[in-house]
Amino acid sequence: MNYCGGKIGGGGSDQRGNGGGGPCGACKFLRRKCIKGCIFAPYFDSDQGTVHFAAVHKVFGASNASKLLMRIPAHKRLDAVVTLCYEALARARDPVYGCVAHIFALQQQGVLQFNYLSFTNQVLMRNFGNNG
């Protein structure tokens, strides 16, 4: 599940978004200079990364996203960015339920599967329960 069209660069944070050239996707969106050590640069490239950062910015805000990443160890930041993008894009598609709609759907699917499993278990037990 990679919803960020960015750099899969791991935990490094001392690189800029566009190979040390132009700004990263976040700084491009924010129209600011992309400094060395930019917290967003390893994860948002200047192409699709800009689109995904726009969603993160709209839902969480650049400042909150930055603070969140700063509190997380560098090697876990890519995962955090992917989940932030996932939540932000889900909220953009469904402003009321966001990604919680996926949780509801999965829970409902789980209940259906559980009911069907209970039924098949009853059939199996009725027919093979006395074989042991």
Report residue 110 as tokens: 């789980």
- Between 2 and 20, whose beta carbon lies closer to a copy of itself? 2
Helices (H), strands (E): how many in the chain?
Answer: 5, 0
120 touches a copy of itself (CB under 8 A): yes
Cβ(49)–Cβ(24) below 8 Å: yes
115 touches a copy of itself (CB under 8 A): no
Cβ(90)–Cβ(98) below 8 Å: yes
Closest by CA to 25, choosing from 70, 57, 2, 1, is 57
Which of these segments, 24-32, 34-42, 47-55, 78-86, binds a copy of itself (CB under 8 A)? 78-86
Which chain residues interact with a copy of itself by CB under 8 A?
1, 58-61, 63-64, 68, 71-72, 76, 79-80, 83-84, 86-87, 91, 95-100, 102-103, 106-107, 109-110, 113-114, 116-117, 120-121, 123-124, 127
